Structure 1
Amino acid sequence: YCNFDSLDCAAFHDEAIDELVARVRDGAIALTYVPLFGQIGNSQGAARAAMCAAEQNAFWPLHDAFYQWRQMYGEVQAFTNNRIVSGIAQLDINRARYDGCISSGAPDAVLQEAATDARGLVNFTTTPAVTVNGVVLVNDSNVQLTTASEILAALDEAIASRAAPAAPTEEAGMEQPEAAEAPEVTETPVEPTAEATAEA
C-alpha cells in the first residue's frame, strides 16, 4: 500500500523496488501494488492515471516516473494535470482507451476499494505498508514495519519459513503436507493487476 505523494513511499520505492522485483522474478513472491492517495497536490489524479495506465501494461513505467517527479518537483507540483498528461504521452499506450478509462468511474472505484481495504488491515498505520498473505508486516511489538530494510528482512524470513522442509510424520502412511504457496506481497494495482515482471 503506497501513495505517490508520500516521501516515505518514494524512499521505499528507491530502496526496495529492485529487490522486490528480483524476488518476483525468482518466483518467491507475488507483488501487488495497492494505490492510495494523500490530500496534497493531485495525488489522486496520479493514482487514477496509474490505474488507467495499468490497463495497458504501462503501470510500472508511470509508477517510476511519479516517484521521480515527487522528488524533483515536490508534493504540490509533481502531479499537475499537465505533467500527468505529458507523462502519459510518453508511454506506448492507446490514448483514446486511456482517456476513456480516466473519464469512467473505474479508477475511482479501485481507489475507494483500496482505501477501504487499508482501513480494514490490522496494524496498518501509514504508507508504505506491505502485507504477506493479507497480514501487515510488524515487528515483535506489533508495530508496522515501514523501512525498506525491515520489510525486506521480514519478507526474506517469510520466504525462508515457507521453504523450510516439512517435519517428517511418524506414521509411514500419512501424507506429507504440500509446500506452502509463495507469499503474496501487497504493493501493485488492485484492479487491474499489472504484472510486476512485465515492465519492471
Structure 2
Amino acid sequence: MKPLIVAEYVESGAVRFEYRDYAFRGPQAVRAAEAAACAADQNGYWRYHDTLFLNQGGANSFTDPRLKQMAETLGLDTGAFNSCLDGGEKLEQVQQSIAAAQAAGIDSTPTLFVGSDEVDAWQDWNAVKQAIDDALAQA
C-alpha cells in the first residue's frame, strides 16, 4: 500500500506519509525496531524495514548478530550501525512510538490512519484512496 500512497499523493506533495514502529511481539521485535531506526541514520530505513519483513522467522529470529548481518548485507556503515545498536541509541525513540500506539488504542499491525480516522479496509486501495480524497476535500 505504501508505494501506491507515495506515488499517488506523497510525491505530488498532497499528503505526508508517516510510519511509526509498533513493536509489540516481545523484546526482539523492539530490538528489530531499534535496528531499523539505526539504519534510518544512514537513509536505510525502508530497505532495512523491508529486509526485516522478508526475513521474519519464529521466536528469537532477530538476534543482534542477525540484525547486524542484515545491515552489512544492505551495505550500511556497520561501524556506525553497530555502535548505534549496541549503545541503545534508539531505544527511547522506539519505546515512545510503542507508548503512542498503545495510547491511541492500536492493538494490531498494520493500522492505517488518514488524519485521525482509522481506515478499517487498509488492504483495499480504493477504500484508502477514497479516505485520502475525502480528507483532502475537507482540508
* Shorter-chain TM-score above 0.5: yes
- Cα displacement (A) at 1:109: 0.6
Gaps of 5+ in 1: 1-15, 139-144, 167-179, 181-200
Query: Which residue is 1:22 aligned to?
Result: 7
Q: Which residue of 112, 131, 135 corresponds with 1:158?
A: 131
Q: Which residue of 95, 106, 131 corresponds with 2:113?
A: 131
Query: Which residue is 1:39 aligned to?
Result: 25
TM-score, normalised with respect to structure 1: 0.59
| Structure 1 letter corresponding to 2:5 | L
- What RMSD over aligned residues (CA atoms) do the two structures have, in Å? 2.4
- Cα displacement (A) at 1:20: 2.7
TM-score, normalised with respect to structure 2: 0.81
Partners of 2:27 and 2:58 in 1: CA distance: 6
| Structure 2 letter corresponding to 1:127 | T
Q: Which residue of 130, 139, 148 corresponds with 2:123?
A: 148
Partners of 2:68 and 2:97 in 1: CA distance: 24
| Structure 2 letter corresponding to 1:137 | E
Conservation of the 8 A alpha-carbon contact between 1:41 and 1:77: no
Gaps of 5+ in 2: none
| Structure 1 letter corresponding to 2:80 | R
Conservation of the 8 A alpha-carbon contact between 2:112 and 2:122: no
Say which structure is richer in strand. Answer: 1
Deviation beyond 4 Å, 4+ runs, structure 1: none
Partners of 2:61 and 2:88 in 1: CA distance: 23
Number of residue equivalences: 138
| Structure 2 letter corresponding to 1:96 | G
Say which structure is richer in helix. Answer: 2
Q: Within 5 A, what are the aligned runs for 1:79-98? A: 79-98=62-81
Give identity over the alignment, percent.
Answer: 26
Residue 41 and residue 104 in structure 1: after superposition, are their counterparts in 2 closer, same or farther (change >3 A)?
A: closer
Partners of 1:30 and 1:18 in 2: CA distance: 13
Name whichever of 60-69 and 22-31 sits farther off.
22-31
2:91 paired with 1:108: yes
- Cα displacement (A) at 1:119: 1.7
Conservation of the 8 A alpha-carbon contact between 1:118 and 1:124: yes
Partners of 1:75 and 1:41 in 2: CA distance: 13
| Matched position secondary structure for 1:44 | helix
